[in-house]
Chains A and B, each alone.
Chain A
């Protein structure tokens, strides 16, 4: 009964309802767009830095992360690989052996990280074909290397040139070799571009004299899966005495903290926005209440209980907010989706700044349903809080006075 009255009240004065809905709509609309943009930006940063190369979760020999030394490599058995692969949310497992070397060519020299990879497995993580600028991809038995574009630029090297590597092998063996370049790749990240060289897993293991051993096991996850849960499950499948499982937050704490810092700023801006829109919503509710004092007076004097009137009013607010939130959601959705698939491209200075920090200068919006749900909930909460004002007014209402004009 009360719900019905409330519903009819909403539509009785369409203009007034429209104004209230508009106030709520603009709040939810701006909040959704701002958050989608911001969270999308972080998602992309994480994807740039970890998703495409280091992976969300890695398994190492204990102590490898603090001391990235080939002596801290390990052998991994098929059965362990299988059991990790079966964990829910794990999409790929990739074996790598990585070591630091001094490279040289003619009179130039440079410190590089040589990474032995299995080409096929890596392609599940990133589309190498798209990133390849020149030459061909690795094959499992070749003795050639792919260099990142910064390295190629440093040596002014082209496909067909060779690099000499000098490094430290397993258990004190000398690691020396000369490798022809078969491809140049763009890692989309300045740090990686300036430091990376890739060769097949097998030839890298030969180079450091560590047959069948790897230094990193990269575990990739499916989108929107929680990497912490995956890491927990991986831990239960392995011997944690001799192995470390790390998530990207532990491997690159600076990125995590950078995001946290920036996110703090973003939340501040959202709070400012909410503060302003709550004033807007409150103002609208206030005026609506005062406009309807006469009506309330009549209702109470013909015998409606104050409590029932209050409940009707709360229902009305809920209806109005729901409509506003729904409209905001429906209108923002195509916009968010559009920018998710066609990311905003930054230009000039802003782009340079992001690129120098190691990120692609694009911002795809995040299109999960969490954002509209969370913010819709917050807005509903805000408008319910503003309901307190008319409730107080009704509780103090004296019908005679209210009906006087």
Chain B
């Protein structure tokens, strides 16, 4: 057995060019596959993160019927005790209560349907990342009359700029039509241009005047100390306040939450295609190697090397080649993925398209360790299967005939 392994090892290096081709193709295949997957994961991670920072947060509380029609009367039940509870909960890092109304925002240049969000401006500064994404003007620094913060997209659509007036029309909780004029104080630009076009922020106190119910709250958004606690907090609050609907970010945006799940599938399918193409290369080259060595194999067989040993010899030769490439490929991928995970890749050439999907243009590659394990097992499995074909072919050789061949 030891001798067979030794012979196989030497066979690998007999035809250096061939072995190098197989090794390079495997290393490059593994590297490019893993790197692409790491990049897509990075893009998605970025997208989830910016969605959470901007508008999902960790946990949200609404009136159960608020979700569909943003009905102005669907307010959070018993907001004072809900807020007291949140205040005293140790899992909570920060929270904010908001008034949300679906309104028509108009200027002389046109009208758009938007969500107006009345916020407690001091709390929100440390809470949502809107204040960090201001590209023009300020975030509620001005105490003067009725400031509004709008998105870049809406500003473009309605030709607005800072210090311009925006009028907002809606039906109040009494059923009367109300029209308020706001002055644009700041313009924000998040990674999600759809969000920027459909949401504007004002001070809560400027809206509450139009409510009969001075405690009206449509949404309470909460940040936990640790995002993994979202579910525990949700269970807690849902038990205490059964009349309100408590949701985690995954409940609100299931498609974002399950991106991870899709990624695993994408990874497996994509790597399988690459490995399929790779294994075809290996099988072809090894089959050729067997046919090329017909004479030599015939000779070995006729001097008494038994079939099992011939089989094993070819088998080991194939396995050796992949065993050299596998660690090399994985190491190369690991190094590059860690490097670009720190430094990031700039995709700004195509970023406008990405923004419509809620992504940022800097991508940080990311690949958890268990992906490397999966790929190792998958590759070993594929090479084992593909090494069987050439080895089986060698068995079929008839020594007497093989020895005569050219």
Contacts and interface: CB of A to CB of B under 8 A. Distances in A.
A111 B101 CA distance: 12
A78 interface: no
Interface in A241-281: 253-262, 264-265, 268-269, 272-273, 275-277, 279-280
A276 B102 contact: no
A30 B284 CA distance: 17
B18 A111 contact: no
Nearest to A357: B357
Given A349-B254, A349-B255, A254 B280 contact: no
Given A272-B33, A352-B254, A16 B352 contact: no
Given A26-B277, A269-B270, A195 B289 contact: no
Given A109-B102, A254-B353, A290 B292 contact: yes
A16 B288 contact: yes
Interface centre among A68, A259, A287 (most CB of B within 10 A): A287
A322 interface: no
B17 interface: yes
A108 B103 CA distance: 10
A68 B109 CA distance: 8
Interface residues of B, number: 68
A127 interface: no
B18 A283 contact: yes
Interface in B6-59: 15, 17-18, 21-22, 24-25, 28-29, 32-33, 36, 40
Given A272-B32, A353-B255, A279 B284 contact: no
B278 interface: yes
A370 interface: no
Nearest to B352: A257
Contacts, number: 189
A87 B28 CA distance: 51
Nearest to B356: A254
A302 interface: no
B354 A277 contact: no
Binding site of A, secondary structure by majority: helix, strand, loop or mixed?
Answer: helix
Interface string B293-323: 0010000000000000000000000000000
A275 B28 contact: yes
Contact of A23 (B73, B102, B281): B281
Contacts of B352: 253-254, 257
Contacts of A119: none
A396 interface: no
Contact of A100 (B102, B112, B292): B112
Interface in A66-86: 67-69
Given A269-B270, A291-B288, A291-B292, A276 B15 contact: no
B36 A268 contact: yes
Contacts of A272: 29, 32-33, 36, 274
A34 B273 contact: yes
B208 interface: no
B387 to A, nearest CB: 15
A15 interface: yes
Interface in A24-70: 26-27, 30, 34, 67-69
A352 B110 contact: no
A26 B291 contact: no
Contacts of B255: 349, 352-353, 355-356
A294 B292 CA distance: 11
Contacts of A168: 111
A19 interface: yes
A348 B258 contact: yes
B88 interface: no
A27 to B, nearest CB: 7
A76 B267 CA distance: 53
B17 A276 contact: no
Nearest to B43: A265
B399 to A, nearest CB: 17
A102 B105 CA distance: 10
Interface stretch (B117-125, B167-175, B222-230): B167-175
Contacts of A264: 350
Given A69-B109, A279-B21, 18 more contacts: A27-B277, A69-B110, A100-B113, A108-B71, A109-B171, A110-B69, A257-B356, A258-B354, A272-B29, A272-B36, A276-B277, A280-B278, A280-B281, A283-B22, A287-B285, A348-B261, A349-B262, A350-B265
13 contacts: A67-B110, A109-B104, A111-B112, A153-B68, A254-B355, A257-B356, A273-B277, A276-B28, A280-B278, A286-B18, A290-B15, A291-B288, A353-B255
Interface of A: 15-16, 19-20, 22-23, 26-27, 30, 34, 67-69, 100, 102, 104, 106-112, 153-156, 168, 195, 253-262, 264-265, 268-269, 272-273, 275-277, 279-280, 282-284, 286-288, 290-291, 294-295, 348-350, 352-353, 355-357, 405
